[in-house]
Amino acid sequence: MIALKATPFAATLVLATVAAHAQDLTNTGTQLAVQAGTTLVLPGSLSNQADGTLTVNGTLQVAGNLTNAGTILPGSGIVVMAGAIDQTLTPGGASLANLEVRNTGAAGQNRVLLPAGLTVTQQLLLTSGLLRTAPAATMLLPDGATITGEAAGRYVQGNLRVERNAVSGSAPVDFGNGFALNPNGNALGTVRVTRTAGLQTANVSFGQNPANASQKGIDRIWTVVPDQQPTAPVNLTLTWLPDDDNGLTFGQAQVWRMPDNSTAWQPVGSPASGAPRTLTVSTAGLSRWTVSSLANPLPVELLSFNAERQGDDALLRWATASEKNNDHFEVESSPDGRTFRRIGTVAGQGSSTQRHDYSLPDPNLARYAAEQVYYRLRQVDKDGAASYSPIRTVQVPAAGGFAVQAYPQPFGSELNLLLRTPETGPVTIALLDGLGRVLLTRQATLAPGSTVLPLPEAAALSFGVYVLSISHNAYHRTVKIVRE
C-alpha cells in the first residue's frame, strides 16, 4: 500500500517525475491512499487500472486526465481538476465525495469533460472553468450534496441532477441548479430536478418552435420528477446565467411548461421582467420547464389529444393553447393503424393566444369490426400546410363477455380503467413492470354494465411500458400501458 501521510514539515507532496515519463501516474495492482491532511499534486494524468484501488481522504489534485477502471473509495477527501487545457474525468462507475473544478485554461479550453455519469455525495465546487457532461451522461448530486460557485463563465454544462428527499411543508427548497421550489404544504416525497443546459441543442437543452427556428427559449430546460405530484399549487423559481441567454434579449420573459403526456410547450403565469434572469410562477403540475423572451414564443399548439370510449361510442377530445393561421382539424380513424380515413371536420380559431378545447364523437365502434380503433388529428393551416398528432386507440366493446380499456394512452398524471361485464363479481387488477414483477394490486366488485376505476397510483410510475393483468370471474385480460 502506498500511503501518503502529512508530516509536521510538509502537507503537500508534488510528484515532478513518476517512472520514466515524468508527469503521468498509472496505478496498477496497488492500493493508493491519499490520507487526510495530505495533498497529492499530479502535474499530468492519473490512470487507476482495473486492479488498482484509490482512496481519497485528503486532496488529490490532477492537472491532466483522471481515468478510473478500478476501484475508487471516495472517503471524505476532494479531487481537484486543476488543468490549463480541457481535461477528461472518466469515473468508471465510481462516485466521489467532493469534486472541485479549477481549470484555468483559456475560454473554450477550460472544461472538465465527463463522458459518463458521476455521483458526488458531498460537494461540487466550481472555482474556475466549466464541467461539461456528454449528452447522455449526468452529474448527480443526491440528497445532502451541494453545488457551489456557479457563475458566468463557470457552471455545469449538460445534465446536472439534484435530488432532495422528503420535500414538504412551506419552506422553499433550493436545489442549487437554478431551480427552487416551495411545496406550499404539499408532500412531494423525493424530488429529482435535472437541468440540461449549455448544449446548444434544440428540444434537448432549449425549446424551439418547429414552425420557426428563430423562436426559441433559453439554453436551459429543467425536468422535475417528484414521487407525488402536488394536489394544490406550488411555487417554483427558475434562474439562469447570461451564458444561457441563447442569443435572446430580455425585456419581458415567459415561463413555459411541457406536460408529461405532451410534446408541446404551454405558457404558465404572466409575462414578467426577464432582466434579473429569475422568474417565479405557481403551478399544479411538475414536469419540464424553460423560459423564453416574450418576443420568441415556443410552440404551444396542441396541448393534448385523447380518445376514450363512452358506451358503444368513442369521444375524441383535444385542446390547443395557441393557434396560428389554423383553418380546421380533420379527425381520422383506422381499424388497423395503417389506413386512415376522415370521419369529421372541426373548424379552427385562425390565430389565437388563448386555450381552446374541442371534441368530436364517433358513434357505433362495432362498425369497424376490429378489436380496437386508431385515431389521429390532421391540423390544416389556411395555406394548406398540414401536420399530424400522435395516434390514440380505443378498445371496441365486445358483443358479449368481458372487455377492458385503459385510458388515456399514453398517460401522464392520470390513468383510468374502463371495465365492461355482463356479470356481477369481484375483479383483481395487478400492475406489472417489464420484468413481470407485480408493483401494485387493486380489488373491487363489478356490477353488470360499465365501471370506471381510477388508478391514481400509476402517476408515481417512472416513464416506460407496463402491463395490467385483470381477472374477473372466469375472464382474464391483459392490457399494455405506457407512461410518458
Q: What percent of the chain has pLDDT over 70?
A: 90
CB count in 10 Å sphere of residue 59: 20
**The predicted structure's pLDDT at residue 117:** 95
Helices (H), 328-441: none
* CB-CB contact of 409 with 435 (8 Å): no
- The better pLDDT of the pair 318, 252 is held by 318
**The predicted structure's pLDDT at residue 370:** 66
Which of 93-97, 191-195, 311-315, 335-339 is predicted least confidently? Answer: 335-339
**The predicted structure's pLDDT at residue 263:** 64
- Residues 216-242, mean pLDDT to the nearest whole number: 95
Q: Is the pLDDT of residue 404 over 70?
A: yes
**The predicted structure's pLDDT at residue 8:** 41
Beta-bridge partner residues of 164:
191
**The predicted structure's pLDDT at residue 3:** 43
- The better pLDDT of the pair 304, 125 is held by 125
* CB-CB contact of 404 with 353 (8 Å): no
The grid cell for 306 is 385523447
Please give the model's pTM, rounded to 2 decimal places: 0.63
Using CB atoms within 10 Å of the CB of residue 106, give its burial: 0 to 12 exposed, 13 to 18 middle, 19+ buried. Answer: exposed
Which of 39-43, 100-104, 111-115, 407-411 is predicted least confidently? Answer: 407-411
- The better pLDDT of the pair 369, 364 is held by 364
**The predicted structure's pLDDT at residue 334:** 86
Does 410 sit behind a cis peptide bond, omega within 30 degrees of 0 on the bond before it? yes
Q: Is the pLDDT of residue 352 over 90?
A: no
Which of 139-143, 315-319, 370-374 is predicted least confidently? Answer: 370-374
- The better pLDDT of the pair 16, 219 is held by 219
**Pick from 425, 429, 423, 436: nearest CA to 465:** 436
Q: Is the pLDDT of residue 262 over 70?
A: no
Does 456 sit behind a cis peptide bond, omega within 30 degrees of 0 on the bond before it? no
Average pLDDT, the chain: 87
Q: Is the pLDDT of residue 303 over 80?
A: no
